[in-house]
Amino acid sequence: MIKPIFIVWLVMSAFLFAQNYPSYPVGQNWNFPDARALSLAGAGSVSLTAPGALLYNPAALAQINRSLSVDLTLASRKMEERRSYPLYDRFDSYLVNSTYALNNNWYTQPQGALAVKLPFLKKSSLTIAAGIYNEMDYRYSYLEEVRQNVFGDPIIGYNRINIDGMLQRYTVGFAMHVPSLPGLSLGIQAGILDGTNRYQMEINYLDARGRVVLGKENRKLSNTPLTASAGAIYRLSERVSLGGDVFLPYTLKYKVTDAEEDLFQESIGYPLRLNAGFEYRARQELQARLNLDLGYEFWSKREYTRELTSGIITLPDFSDVLYVKAGIEHIFFNKIPFGLGAQYRNSNNSRGNTQTLLSVGTGFFDRQWRIDVAGALSRLNYRWADLFDDKWFVNDPNFVSRTALDTVDETYFFVQLSFKYLIDF
């Protein structure tokens, strides 16, 4: 039995938050509230003067200098997933990694927020913001052709995995300058999470066996998860700003129904996150700006458990995540911004797996509006077991399944287009 090279082109709907098979149901996320943030690879928590600061340091909302700011972003992501297995000759000598599956999927989803600046006290103002963002998007699709190892390689079936659903955050935030301490801004954010997700793994035989479901899980939230964050930004001078924010942990509790309609409880904890930000604005007329962010996510303190009739199962521990984000932004004479960024982070599944993202973006703006567009590229390589055992297609009790781990190469391409509308009352 062999799995030959093939190409599957699919178009699906999802959000910019990356999703691959090993991360389900915990999920992955890259938080980019708008295209400008993506162009800096997520850096700029102290300089994001837009409603999207709800996802970063909420104190940055206080730096919005317009009465009303409306932000709408269309985010797209392409994930190319390539799976290959080691190929040996008759003498058990390694030859090459043979690609047997290639999935190429596009994902798109809008998001947005608005912020209003109101007079507050005598020497300050209060900025109120509200928005809808995707906390996690679980959607993932896998399709694999299976062919018989005879002349002509006829197709005998298809292996499929479909994951659907998303978790959305309905969020509000407040920020203000502290009148007694010029240059200091404080902000808070609170949100409610809501959503469901579904998973199904199946084989579609082309003979009389038809479709066989190997695994199925439907998840529905049994609690109302709350998110909360707080931050502060201090402007040391016209050129230097420092800030920090904390995102509190939360827990998702699911009622899960499997293929046999059995019901069990599942609890997934998400970590405390600490972030520090820095911005430096150069003296020259081109307004060069350097943004740095350093953060730590305490995944090792969180648990993932399943409560079955046979007892409670605690799944493998997570690894803490360290990330570094850096971005440089220029504002040219003709009001065209240009940004470059890079982000480095390790996986919460394994500290040894790291991922780097490189980004670029530009845009143009006027007094009442701004348009930004940005793109980013990231790659991830790891080893993983075969998702579908060949034994499902072999009518031989003595058949020995392949045990060598597959090599998985994933390439992520991110694109965002943002439109902001600004009004002064």
Q: What is the pLDDT of residue 418?
A: 96
The pLDDT of 42-71, averaged and rounded, is: 94
Model pTM score = 0.87
98 burial via Cβ count (<10 Å: 0-12, 13-18, 19+): middle
The pLDDT of 341-345, averaged and rounded, is: 95
Q: What is the pLDDT of residue 8?
A: 28
Least confident of 52-61, 290-299, 331-340, 378-387: 331-340
Please state, in angstroms and as integers, the Cα–Cα distance from residue 382 to each residue in 66, 318, 379, 405, following that order.
46, 17, 10, 10
Paired tokens of 179:
């009148």
Q: What is the pLDDT of residue 2?
A: 38
Q: What is the pLDDT of residue 120?
A: 74
Q: What is the pLDDT of residue 59?
A: 97
Asked if residue 168 has pLDDT above 70, the reply is: yes
Q: How far apart are the first and last CA of the chain?
A: 70
User: Could you give the CA distance from residue 141 to residue 107 in angstroms, rounded to a whole number?
Assistant: 11
Q: What is the pLDDT of residue 137?
A: 83
Please state, in angstroms and as integers, the Cα–Cα distance from residue 138 to each residue in 21, 205, 324, 347, 406, following that order.
9, 26, 25, 17, 23
% of the chain residues with pLDDT over 70? 91
Per-domain boundaries in the chain = 8-423
Asked if residue 15 has pLDDT above 50, the reply is: no
DSSP designation for 399: -
The pLDDT of 187-206, averaged and rounded, is: 95
Least confident of 74-88, 247-261, 301-315: 301-315
% of the chain residues with pLDDT over 90? 55
pLDDT band at 334 (very low <50, low <70, confident <90, very high): low
CATH C-level class of 8-423: mainly beta
pLDDT band at 373 (very low <50, low <70, confident <90, very high): very high
DSSP conformation letters of 275-308: EEEEEEE-SSTT--EEEEEEEEE-GGG--EEEEE
Asked if residue 14 has pLDDT above 60, the reply is: no
pLDDT tens digit string along 203-261? 999 988 899 999 999 999 999 999 999 999 999 998 999 999 999 999 999 999 988 77
Paired tokens of 95:
């030859």
Residue 85 dihedral angles phi and psi, to the nearest 5°? -125, 155
The pLDDT of 284-288, averaged and rounded, is: 72
| Average pLDDT over the chain, rounded to an integer | 87
Q: What is the pLDDT of residue 208?
A: 87
